[in-house]
Structure 1
Amino acid sequence: MRQLPPLAAVRVFEAAARHENFTAAAGELGMTQAAVSYQIRLLEQRLGVPLFRRERRRVMLTEAGRRAGAQLAAAFDSIDAAFAGLRAEDEAVLTVSVTNTFANTWLAWRLGGFHLAHPSTAVRLWTSNTLADFAADEVDVAIRSGPGGWPGLAQHELLPLDFTPMCSPGFLAEQGGRLDPVDLLQLSLISAQDPWWAQWLREAGLDVVEARRTGMRLDSQAHEGHAAIAGQGVAMLTPFFWHNDLVAGRLVRPFAQLSSMGEAYWLVYPEARAKVLKIRRFREWLIEALDRDRAAAGG
């Protein structure tokens, strides 16, 4: 069994021996000079051997301290090399957990821009509407929808989750070219059981007791939007995600009313990993790209 002295004291001694200066070691380790001196004294007491000579206003390694310092420097270099490989491997791939809607309507179309900016980092998308388990799923960052407030996670609000009915121009033409909110109660609504429908209809002044259970039911806004483009009915969609389809005339917004349930899309990751380079780079790129597209879409 190894008989190791306190590793915190060993770390302090290695820095102090390398600099042969307690003040420089304290600066490197983010400690006070008094704390460095205390750890060295603790190690000397544990070993029963003086490691430094105190002479006037400076310290000098003893012969025992010089031998130990050289061996520890080599050992710390080996440890650093062992973890450097892991750091490089971790930095090479960024795993992003993202909802199907966010991936299919926005992120997958623009991810090449991140790779061009950071060609040494590959991005792996894990699309799922379930919450990522950062420990079990080996996920670096996640893009989640909801109210926020997830404990233990750094959180950056990306864009509000608002919604309004949309359909294809052809579908609208079949209804006479215009709609009133009350007309929606008689039309084919895509995923009518979604609570967004009840929220929007109530804000439009309609007395909606419960969501309709009939009609087409799809599992993501991405699928609902494409069904609407195909003329299958009216879908409740977030305008930001469908800006290009609105501009190209594949979708139309029959109503100006925009509703929200107070939720948003968020970039989240463990607080302890906030300074990891690939995460910082992705966060900066994502926020900048979203801001640029939001400005192009009129906010």
Structure 2
Amino acid sequence: MPDILATLPLSAIRIFEAAARLKSFTRAADELGVSQAAVSWQVKALEQRLDQPLFVRRPREVDLTPAGERLSRAATEAMAILRAAVSDLVETEEGVLSITTVQSLGAQWLAPRLGGFQVAHPRIAVRLETSSRVVDLTRETYDLALRGGQGHWPGLESHYLAPSIQTALCTPAFLARIGGLATPADLVDAPRIGSAAEWATWFDAAGVAPCDDRAVPRLMADAQALEVASALAEQGVALGSPIFYAQDLAQGRLVAPFDVVAHYGGGYWITYPAERRRVRKIAAFRDWILAQAAADPLIARHRAP
């Protein structure tokens, strides 16, 4: 019996994968830089070759048939493996390592250490970008991500870096201006920055009973770095990681009024597509950053129980 796969052109599989993922022939055509008619023709030819429909056509989009669902899963995996294989063939140690990271981890913990990586790997240039969204590493032009969560993302390999913890932070001048804080309960009436839910977790760790509307913070941002920046500008008390802000604490720009550290579950991870684990620049950065995390005494001290 002839091998049917040998008779299927790669271009048809590539077009099918895009149409299945985007659920639209038009969007697939835009992504691949071909005409919508070309997408439709290739899909129809593939269906005829397989002697069964792969899509249910609708006015504005398409849905996969059960057969299409099966082929879509296999095609997506195959295209990812093929992209990785081609990347490995053309990859050299020289080049740019593109990293997407949450702002607090990237700016406060990673950036001050990056010089050591670049000294050890002078042929690898690092492009570091911060983003609050979860970037799709299988589709976008980033090599790896540093992100918060539980460490489980389909198709990605992840390694734990640090716990997700926060403590109350403010400037010495702000603390003096409000007359100091005697107990954690005093923070209920103090100007606070951050989300009410995160403060509730901290108050619980401090043994402060749930309180009324006074517990609503006066300011909230979409990133820890922005909230602590407001605290540095003496706008109030913010929640921040003592790991990320260790230098500010050591140099006295920030103080932690209380030795209360709340754990928020999960942690921070380095993650990348599993099929790219052997790409040299990714492996080099992974090994380096894991060594940096292992050597950080604050990470060891505050690991979740």
Q: For the superposition of Structure 1 and Structure 2, which TM-score range results when normalised by the shorter chain?
A: 0.5 to 0.7
Gaps of 5+ in 2: 1-5, 7-85
- C-alpha separation in 2, matches of 1:223 and 1:206: 28
Q: 199-208 or 116-125, which moves further after superposition? A: 199-208
d(CA) in 2 for partners of 1:211 and 1:262?
26
Following superposition, the deviation at residue 153 of structure 1 comes to 1.2
In the alignment, what sits opposite 2:163?
Answer: 160
The residue type paired with residue 135 of structure 1 is T
Instruction: Provide the rounded CA distance (Å) in 1 between the counterparts of 2:231 and 2:196.
Output: 15
Compute the displacement of 1:209 (Å). 6.2
| Cα-to-partner distance string for 1:241-266 (whole Å, 9 max, x where unaligned) | 11111111111111112111212000
Residue identity matched to 1:251: L
Matched, 1:201 2:203: yes
Could you tell me how far 1:223 is from its partner in structure 2? 1.7
1:188, 1:215 within 8 Å by CA — same for their partners in 2? yes
Report the CA distance between 1:194 and its aligned residue: 4.6
**Equivalent of 2:288 in 277, 280, 285:** 285
* Mapped contact 1:169–1:250 kept (Cα < 8 A): yes
Correspondent of 2:251 among 248, 251, 262: 248
Pair 148,83 (structure 1): closer, same or farther in 2 beyond 3 Å: closer
The separation in 2 between residues aligned to 1:169 and 1:84, in whole angstroms, is 52
What SS is found at the alignment partner of 1:95? strand
CA distance in 2: counterparts of 1:276 and 1:229, whole angstroms: 40
User: 1:173-192 to 2 correspondence within 5 Å?
Assistant: 173-191=176-194
Q: Which amino acid in 2 is paired with 1:161?
A: S
Partner letter of residue 244 of structure 1? Answer: Q
Q: CA deviation at 1:109?
A: 1.8
| SS of corresponding position for 1:266 | strand
Partner of 1:147: 150
**SS at 1:171's partner residue?**
helix
- Map of 1:94 onto structure 2: 97
Match for 1:200: what amino acid?
W
Q: Tell me the secondary structure at the aligned position of residue 138 of structure 1.
A: coil
Matched residues in 2 for 1:284 and 1:208: separation? 45
For 1:143, give the aligned amino acid.
Answer: L
CA 1:294–1:119: 2 relative to 1, 3 Å: same
Whether the 8 Å contact between 1:243 and 1:297 is mirrored in structure 2 is no
Distance across 2 between alignment mates of 1:189 and 1:83: 48
Contact in 1 for aligned 2:232/2:254 (Cα 8 Å): yes
- From the superposition, tell whether residues 217 and 224 of structure 1 become closer, same or farther in structure 2 (CA, over 3 Å): same
The whole-number CA distance in structure 2 between the counterparts of 1:95 and 1:205 is 43
* Higher Rg: 1
Kindly tell me the number of residue pairs found equivalent between the two proteins. 219
Moved more, 113-122 or 178-187: 178-187
Q: Deviations over 1:58-103 (max 9, x none)?
A: xxxxxxxxxxxxxxxxxxxxxxxx9888323x85111111011111
Task: Give 1:132's aligned residue.
Answer: 135
Q: Distance in 2 between matches of 1:271 and 1:296?
A: 26
Gaps of 5+ in 1: 1-5, 7-81
**Pick from 166, 172, 177: which aligns with 2:175?**
172
Secondary structure of 1:124 counterpart: strand
State how far apart, in whole Å, the 1-side matches of 2:240 and 2:254 are.
10
Q: Give the partner amino acid of 2:198.
A: W
TM-score of the superposed pair, with normalisation by structure 2:
0.65
Question: How does the TM-score come out when normalised to structure 1?
Answer: 0.66
Cα pair 1:194 1:211 within 8 Å, conserved: no
The alpha-carbon deviation at position 298 of structure 1 amounts to 5.7
**Partners of 1:182 and 1:113 in 2: CA distance:** 42
Identity %: 38
User: What is the one-letter code of the residue matched to 1:173?
Assistant: A
Q: Distance in 1 between matches of 2:140 and 2:255?
A: 39
Alpha-carbon distance in structure 2 between the residues aligned to 1:103 and 1:284:
17
Secondary structure of 1:240 counterpart: coil
Shift of 1:168: 0.8
Cα deviation digits, residues 12-62 of structure 1 (max 9, x gap): xxxxxxxxxxxxxxxxxxxxxxxxxxxxxxxxxxxxxxxxxxxxxxxxxxx
Alignment CA distance shift 1:84-1:104 (3 Å):
closer
1:137/1:198 Cα in 2 relative to 1: closer, same or farther (>3 Å)? same
Whether contact under 8 Å (1:105, 1:241) holds in the other structure is yes
Whether the 8 Å contact between 1:218 and 1:224 is mirrored in structure 2 is: yes
